[in-house]
Amino acid sequence: MSEIDTPILEIKKLVVKDDTYEQVVFGEVFAPFRADSQGDAMTDVEIKKAAYNFMKNMRLDNIDVGHNLQKSGSYVVESFIVRHDNDPDGFIKGAWVLGVKVEDKDLWNSILKGEVNGFSLYGRVPPDKVPNKKTVKIQKVTEIKGLTEKSLFGMLPEHTHEFHIKFDDFNRIIPTETNYALGHTHMILQGTSTEESLEHSHRFSLSE
Amino acid sequence: MIIDKKVEVVEAEVNFLEDLDVSWVSLVPHGANRMPFKIIKSEDGADKEENMLDVIYSVIVPNGVELDVLKEEVPWLNGVKFIKTENYNEYKSYIQVPYDRFDPDKMNIVKLDKGVMVLVGKVDNPDPEWVSIGKDITDPSGPSPTIPAFKESFVSELNNVINVLVGAVSQSHLPDNKRKSIISNSLEAFKVFMLAGIDHGGFATAKSEVPELIVRVKEKEEVMSDVTVKEELQEKVEAVEKEEKAPSPTSAIDALISKIDTLVEKLDALSKPKEEEVQKSEEENPPVEENVFEKFEEKLNAMGDILDKVVAKIEKIEALDSTIPEPVSKSEDRVPANPKQNDADIWAGAIFRN
């Protein structure tokens, strides 16, 4: 036996086995009456229209990475509009949700690491359409305290971090840091996932 | 998960999109709606496997260690009922569960508290008396345990060994016999880990991933270097190390000189041909002869340029060498910085800057 003690919790290292996952991600493409980071919003009626149109035109494999407009090999396996409040998965009523199968191993690993972590749509509004700008009262979030999700990658045991995020006047995250857990922290510069530290990052949600 | 949030009601100008024709959906680092993906797990095989228990197949005890002594230090071992013992050259395997209850390709070797090594595997409908990880051996304060694959354990163990070796070599206060004992024990434990892994599943799948494992170990080395470059002295040592890892200037010069000598000899031979050969050659293909000389001349010039660069590099290294102070090793936790160290010393320096 070694005289140097081995860490007792050796067995707790998280291992991501490929066959553990179906390699399917679910996410909201757009949720109603919520301005995104670019100040755009959609009504529930418009979202449903856009979702149905996407399916009608069979754009099931028009899934690219980082808006490169190149098919990634991923494809839509589920598409639905959230029907009720208090959805068990936390989706917002009226939101368009896609389930996308990610076949590419490297891309899937990027998702597990939190490097790829959300959907973003690319589309066109008819040129004759006049922008429908409205001044509305919105609930502006100024601060959020929360817990990240567990890391899905890396050599450390499963763990989470607490975060306390503040937003500036333009609804941008003011860069901050998570608390310490297992002797490390993560920077938070943008929404939905922390920066990488010790070979892993954490997803987090800024929506309930 | 959101614990608390502060909101204020404000007026804002929002652009409501209408008749939007979505042609692409993109996978991006941060979705505009700030909601992360939800990742689902498999509903059949994987989940079923997750619900299966990680049952201990056997406890690996290195030769020279008595199971009874081990039981005194590791209480849970007393609850294991062994059905037989297998003797290997370097260790004994105390078996709890028949081998045919496991899928050999999915068995893993895991190191538990006090360095006790066990072979584990998933078993469906296990005997309630069998000791398993998670059910019988767990840390109540931590998250639920996950068994690492052999390759994960391999990387971890290899890194542990490297750290222990470096620590033992670099701790100046350690007496030599203690140092030797630490090194010997660490290598012995790693040897048994590897042999047991090879003797029992796990390794079969891991060996096909050796290149990846090597990258992982190397990556750790690079991370350590990144973290530790703090002091000017260390930077200088690192610069020298890099130079030393490059092809040796001396050997490069020797090789160049040798090539130049060969070229000169060939040139001499070509420049003193027999008269009849010259005549014959000129008759057959005079321009080629000229080209050969020109090419040799070009090559010689090129060689000369390379030689100049190499000499300049040596001078640079010599200059750097003279700026590095003598080792300041009064502190016990610092490796003496010696730019002329061998490979093992370079390792020690890299790790210890952590």
Q: Which residues contact B57 (CB under 8 A, 6 or more apart)?
A: B95, B96, B97, B99, B102, B107, B118, B119, B120, B121, B200
A12-37: per-residue pLDDT in tens?
222 333 445 778 888 888 888 877 76
Query: Roughly what angle, to the nearest 10 degrees, separates helices B275-284 and B286-323?
Result: 110
Q: Report residue B228's pLDDT band, with 50, 70 and 90 as the boundaries.
A: very low
**Rounded to an integer, what distance in angstroms lies between the CA atom of residue A91 and that of residue A77?**
17
A15 and A79 share one domain = yes
| Angle (CA) B347 B350 B354, round 5° | 135
Q: Assign residue B184 a region: left if phi > 0, alpha if psi is -120 to 50, beta otherwise?
A: alpha
Residue B238 clears pLDDT 70, i.e. is over it: no
Q: Report residue B340's pLDDT band, with 50, 70 and 90 as the boundaries.
A: very low
Sort out which chain B residues have CB atoms less than 8 A from A135's CB and list them. 11-14
Among the three residues A105, A127, A149, which one is the final residue of a domain in this structure?
Answer: A127
The lowest-confidence range among A9-23, A36-50, B24-38 is A9-23
In a domain, A68, yes or no: yes
Q: Are B142 and A157 in contact (CB under 8 A)?
A: yes
Q: Which residues 148-207 of B are in CB contact (within 8 Å) with A?
A: 148-149, 152, 155-156, 160, 164, 167, 181-182, 185-186, 188-189
Residue B257 clears pLDDT 50, i.e. is over it: yes
Please give the average per-residue pLDDT across A153-178, as a whole number.
83
The mean pLDDT value of chain A amounts to 80
Q: A11: closest CA among B319, B207, B133, B163?
A: B133
Site from B26, B136, B161 to mutate, A interface, most A CB atoms within 10 angstroms: B26
Per DSSP, the residues of A109-165 read: HHHHHTSS-EEEEEEE--TTPPPEEEEEEEEEEEEEEEEPPPP-SSSSBS---EEEE
Q: What percent of chain B has pLDDT over 70?
A: 45
Who has greater pLDDT, B30 or B44?
B30
Residue A6 clears pLDDT 50, i.e. is over it: no
Who has greater pLDDT, A87 or B354?
A87
A91 and A15 share one domain = yes
Nearest to B10 among A124, A138, A162 (CB): A138
Nearest CA in chain A to B49: A20
The lowest-confidence range among A135-139, A194-198, B203-207 is B203-207
In a domain, A134, yes or no: no
Question: What is the residue range of A152's domain?
Answer: 140-208
The mean pLDDT value of chain B amounts to 65
In a domain, A97, yes or no: yes
* Alpha-carbon distances, residue A104 vs A22, A203, B43, B73, B234 (angstroms): 12, 21, 20, 48, 42
Residue B188 clears pLDDT 50, i.e. is over it: yes
In a domain, A173, yes or no: yes
A23 and A113 share one domain = yes
Residue A53 clears pLDDT 80, i.e. is over it: yes
Q: Report residue A113's pLDDT band, with 50, 70 and 90 as the boundaries.
A: confident
Nearest CA in chain B to A37: B32
**Rounded to an integer, what distance in angstroms lies between the CA atom of residue B215 and that of residue B202?**
19
Distance of CA B79 to the CA centre of its chain: 37
Q: Which residues contact B162 (CB under 8 A, 6 or more apart)?
A: B347, B351
A106 and A204 share one domain = no
Q: Are B114 and B74 in contact (CB under 8 A)?
A: yes
B150: buried, middle or exposed (CB in 10 Å: 19+, 13-18, 0-12)? buried
Q: Is the ipTM of this complex over 0.90?
A: no
Who has greater pLDDT, A170 or B97?
B97
Q: How far apart are the first and last CA of chain A?
A: 50
Residue A54 clears pLDDT 90, i.e. is over it: yes
Q: Are A121 and A29 in contact (CB under 8 A)?
A: yes
A118 and A59 share one domain = yes
The lowest-confidence range among A16-30, B33-47, B111-125 is B33-47
The confidence score (pLDDT) of residue A77 equals: 94
B260-270: per-residue pLDDT in tens?
566 566 656 65
Number of domains in chain A: 2
Distance (Å) from the C-alpha of residue A85 to the closest C-alpha of chain B?
A: 17
Length of chain A, in residues: 208
The confidence score (pLDDT) of residue B191 equals: 85
Q: Which residues 51-70 of B are in CB contact (within 8 Å) with A?
A: 62, 65
A11 and A109 share one domain = yes
Q: Report residue A94's pLDDT band, with 50, 70 and 90 as the boundaries.
A: very high
The single-letter code of the amino acid at B166 is V
Predicted structure pTM score: 0.40
A26 and A108 share one domain = yes
Q: A3: closest CA among B182, B62, B68, B175?
A: B182
A94 and A13 share one domain = yes
Distance (Å) from the C-alpha of residue B44 to the closest C-alpha of chain A?
A: 9
The confidence score (pLDDT) of residue A155 equals: 67
A144 and A122 share one domain = no
A154 and A189 share one domain = yes
Partnered with residue A177 across adjacent β-strands are A187
Backbone angles phi, psi at B85, to 5 degrees: -125, 135
Site from B13, B16, B150 to mutate, A interface, most A CB atoms within 10 angstroms: B16
In a domain, A40, yes or no: yes
A185 and A93 share one domain = no
Query: What single DSSP character describes residue B103?
Result: -
Please give the average per-residue pLDDT across B82-96, as a whole number.
89
- Put simply, the answer to whether A27 touches B143 (Cβ < 8 Å) is no
Q: B318: closest CA among B249, B257, B253?
A: B249
Nearest to B17 among A42, A62, A147 (CB): A42
The confidence score (pLDDT) of residue A62 equals: 94
Please give the average per-residue pLDDT across B215-225, as a whole number.
51
Alpha helices in chain B (DSSP H): 45-51, 67-73, 150-170, 176-199, 203-206, 210-228, 232-245, 249-271, 275-284, 286-323, 343-352
Sort out which chain A residues have CB atoms less than 8 A from B144's CB and list them. 158
Please give the average per-residue pLDDT across B55-59, as a whole number.
87
In a domain, A135, yes or no: no
